Amino acid sequence: MPDNIQLFGENMFGVHSIEYDGLTSFFYAFAGLRDGEQWLGWDELCGLARDLDVPSVPLLNRQTFSSFGQLQQTIQLNKSQCGSCPAEGVVLRTVRGFSFHEFDRYTAKYVRENHIQTDATWRRTWKQATLVK
């Protein structure tokens, strides 16, 4: 791992609101930051993750959306790539890299309604996620 790169990812070790049944790893990379200043482009991130033997988050689609309706339709058609349960949401981003200060301009998260389903007892009922072999 290069010293000047921070790797960001989704921690899947514990079951959160959704119990995914198709996990192959407890960690999925979704972003990389170079020198605290430049977010890696998608292809560079995937190459780094591959070199580190770390999976990247599933790529639902790689396209330019012409409308919000087209985006919603794509999300509905690709609800989950981590098993049979519905996806919590999707992250949208540009393929190219961008500066740290442009993060809110070039990324967005679309989350399904009522995606948080934990309650006050989650610490007592916590369980580890299961990986597929």
Question: Minimal CA–CA distance to 82: which of 129, 40, 50?
Answer: 129
The pLDDT of residue 29 is above 90: yes
Residues 36-88: pLDDT tens digits? 999 999 999 999 999 999 999 988 889 998 998 998 888 777 765 556 666 67
Domain ranges of the chain: 5-125
Mean pLDDT of the chain: 85
Residues 104-117: pLDDT tens digits? 999 988 776 665 66
pTM: predicted TM-score of the whole model, two decimal places: 0.80
Return d(Cα 18, Cα 107) in angstroms, integer.
23
Question: Minimal CA–CA distance to 19: which of 87, 79, 74, 97?
Answer: 87
